[in-house]
Structure 1
Amino acid sequence: MSQEPITLIEQPNSRHTLYAVVEQDERTAYFYLYTAELISKKYRMRACWLRNLQAGPPARDSAAMENGMAPMLAARLCNHPEGKEPLVASRLSIVWMPEDDGAAVLYDGEILGVIPGWSLYVDEPAAYAADCINVDEQQLVFPLGERGSNEQYDRVAEAVKFRTEWESVEEPRWPVIQEQFISAYESRFGKMQQYYAIDNKEWPPMAMGKFEKDNVVYFMTMGVSIRPMPWVAYLYNENASAFRRMELGIAINKADFTEEEIMKMAEGLSVLADIPWRHISWLGEGHTVGSSKLTAPFESLVLSAALYNGDSLVLPEMYGDKVNLYWASPITPLELGFAHRKPNGGYELLEKMIEHDITHVVNRRSEIFQQ
Structure 2
Amino acid sequence: MSNGPTVLIEQANSRYTMIAVVEQDERTAYFYLYPAELHSKKYRMRACWLRNLQPGPSQRDSAAMENGDAPMLEAQFTNHPQGKAPLKAELLSIVWMPEEDGAAVLYDGETLGVIPGWSLYTEEPVSYAADCIDGDANALVFPLGQPGKNEQHKHVGNAIDFRQKWESTETPQWPIIQDQFIAAYERHFGKMLQYFAIDNNQWPPMALGKFEKDNVIYFLSMGVSIRPMPWVSYLYNDNAPAYRRMEIALAVSKDDYTEEEITRMAEGISGMVDIPWRHISWLGEGHTIGSGKLPAPFESIVLSAALYNGEGIVLPEMYGDKVNLFWTSPITLSEREFAHRRPNGGYELLEKMIEGDVTHIVRKRKAIV
TM (norm. structure 2) is 0.99
Q: Which amino acid aligns with 1:260?
A: E
Deviations 1:225-283 (A, max 9, x none): 00111111111111111111000000011121122211111011111110000011111
Take 1:139 and 1:275, find their aligned partners in 2: how far apart are those partners? Answer: 35
1:348 and 2:348 are equivalent in the alignment: yes
Q: Which residue of 1 aligns with 2:183?
A: 183
Q: Which amino acid aligns with 2:346?
A: G
Deviation at 1:134, TM superposition (A): 1.3
User: What SS class does the counterpart of residue 271 from structure 2 fall into?
Assistant: helix
Deviation at 1:150, TM superposition (A): 0.4
Q: Which amino acid aligns with 1:88?
A: K
Q: Which residue of 2 aligns with 1:101?
A: 101
8 Å CA contact retained: 2:22, 2:32: yes
Deviations 1:192-231 (A, max 9, x none): 1110000011101000011111111001000000011111
1:336 and 2:352 are equivalent in the alignment: no
Take 1:340 and 1:349, find their aligned partners in 2: how far apart are those partners? Answer: 10
Take 2:53 and 2:300, find their aligned partners in 1: how far apart are those partners? Answer: 54
Deviations 1:307-347 (A, max 9, x none): 00112211011111110000000001110111111111111
Deviation at 1:133, TM superposition (A): 1.0
Q: Which residue of 1 aligns with 2:278?
A: 278
Structure 2 gap ranges (5+): none
Q: Which residue of 1 aligns with 2:287?
A: 287
User: Counterparts in 2 of 1:1-371, with a 5 A limit?
Assistant: 1-369=1-369
RMSD: 0.7
- What fraction of aligned residue pairs are identical, expressed as a percent? 73
Q: Which amino acid aligns with 2:211?
A: F
Take 1:267 and 1:339, find their aligned partners in 2: how far apart are those partners? Answer: 24
Take 2:313 and 2:145, find their aligned partners in 1: how far apart are those partners? Answer: 44
Take 1:187 and 1:303, find their aligned partners in 2: how far apart are those partners? Answer: 23
Structure 1 gap ranges (5+): none
Deviation at 1:137, TM superposition (A): 2.9
Take 1:100 and 1:121, find their aligned partners in 2: how far apart are those partners? Answer: 14
Q: Which amino acid aligns with 1:181?
A: F
Q: Which amino acid aligns with 2:168?
A: S
Take 2:158 and 2:256, find their aligned partners in 1: how far apart are those partners? Answer: 47
Take 1:224 and 1:81, find their aligned partners in 2: how far apart are those partners? Answer: 47
8 Å CA contact retained: 2:73, 2:140: no
Take 2:286 and 2:265, find their aligned partners in 1: how far apart are those partners? Answer: 19
Deviation at 1:136, TM superposition (A): 2.2
Structure 1 residue ranges (4+ consecutive) displaced by more than 6 angstroms after TM superposition: none
Take 1:236 and 1:185, find their aligned partners in 2: how far apart are those partners? Answer: 28
